[in-house]
Amino acid sequence: MKILKYVLALSITVTMFNSNIFAADYVLKLAHNGPEQHPFQNGAERFQQVIEEETDGAVTVQIFPGEQLGSEEDTSQMIKQGTIACAVESAGGGLAPFVSSADLFNLPFLFRDVPHFYRVLDGPVGDFIARDVEENLDAVFLGWWFSGIRNEWNGKRPVMTPEDLKGLKIRVMGSPVLIDTFNALGAQATPMSWGEVYTSLQQGVIDGAETDHVDLLVEKFYEVTKHVSLTGHLYLAAGLICSKKVYDKLPANYKIALLHAGQASVQTQRDAMEIMTGDALAELKKKGLKFYSVDVAPFQAKVGAVYRKNAEKVGGMNVIELVSKQ
């Protein structure tokens, strides 16, 4: 299946020069793992709109949602190889497996609220990790998007304390920090690609997962789960990136348009995520999901070892403390 997806991506790859000497048309393929109803699509469409307007249609964007071209790890590799132009890669699924510093953003309970999260993303720490992404994935970093506040949920029982997680198989992204986190909390952390989650829940391969409210709704996980504990353990960052191999082939004015489009997409996507989060929560309650407020202090007390184990690779405890105080 991965070979088939790779061949598909390669066959529709970016940047073909038109034989017409008066025009050079570029078709950029943009991949993300959300369905069309997801805020990632809003950001992608804004990116598409701006670059097409600024180039008078000489550059067009084709959007491939829902892991059509592969998992986040797959598309990160495609960015590095230059077989697709753009992708949205979450810090947990698409960046951390290749960029160790990106796991800083996956440390549990690191962010106090959304404004704190944005200050860090848009500040020196976010810039540093963006440059690290560029170096490791041979990419041009276009902007930090917001993939929501994540909570634990499962179909077996409410999780009110870490002890309630004992024995539960919880799907996590491929981030080593997230794997360490849920193992430290007593669960059986189970990494798997996004497209496998629904079926794995149906078949009992996993008991639950951790996502934001929007994912719970648009992926229809409410059909296969019951209990949502409002742990708020992770504010998930996602980077919009462009293959440098593709970027380098664009004329200078089109490069500028691409950068402008990336910048414009950020606020559109973040706004959509914040609006949709509230709407999704209300809809999920109507569909019968049970939501539980929890005291996060006992959970926080369990993850100190996760910080100590991973501090060095994300820049050291001084960087973690800088983020905490920002």
Residue 232's pLDDT is what? 98
The pTM score is 0.91
Which residues share a beta bridge with 146? 237
Where helices occur in the chain by DSSP H, the ranges are 2-11, 39-54, 72-81, 114-121, 124-137, 176-184, 197-203, 213-218, 244-247, 252-286, 297-302, 304-310, 317-325
What is the rounded distance in angstroms from the CA atom of residue 154 to the CA atom of residue 169?
9
| Residues 111, 150 contacting (CB under 8 angstroms) | no
Domains of the chain, each with CATH number or no CATH: 2-314 (3.40.190.170)
pLDDT (tens digit, 0 to 9) for every residue of the chain, 326 residues total? 444 444 445 444 444 434 333 444 899 999 999 999 999 999 999 999 999 999 999 999 999 999 999 999 999 999 999 999 999 999 999 999 999 999 999 999 999 999 999 999 999 999 999 999 999 999 999 999 999 999 999 999 999 999 999 999 999 999 999 999 999 999 999 999 999 999 999 999 999 999 999 999 999 999 999 999 999 999 999 999 999 999 999 999 999 999 999 999 999 999 999 999 999 999 999 999 999 999 999 999 999 999 999 999 999 999 999 999 99
| Residues 154, 283 contacting (CB under 8 angstroms) | no
- Would you list the DSSP string of 180-231? HHHHHTTSEEEE--GGGHHHHHHHTS-SEEEE-HHHHHHTTGGGS--EEEEE
| Residues 303, 320 contacting (CB under 8 angstroms) | no
Taking each helix axis from N to C end, the angle separating 317-325 and 124-137, rounded to the nearest 10 degrees, works out to: 130
- Angle among Cα 96, 98, 100 to the nearest 5 degrees reads 55
Residue 285's pLDDT is what? 97
* φ, ψ at 75 (rounded to 5°): -75, -30
Tokens 């976010």, residue? 126
Handedness of CA 316, 211, 118, 259 (dihedral sign): positive
Type of residue numbered 134? E
Instruction: Say how many Å lie between the first and final Cα of the chain, rounded.
Output: 44
Q: Are strands 26-31 and 86-90 parallel, antiparallel or unpaired?
A: parallel
Q: Which residues fall within 8 angstroms of residue 225, CB to CB, at 6 or more apart? A: 153, 154, 155, 201, 208, 209, 216, 289
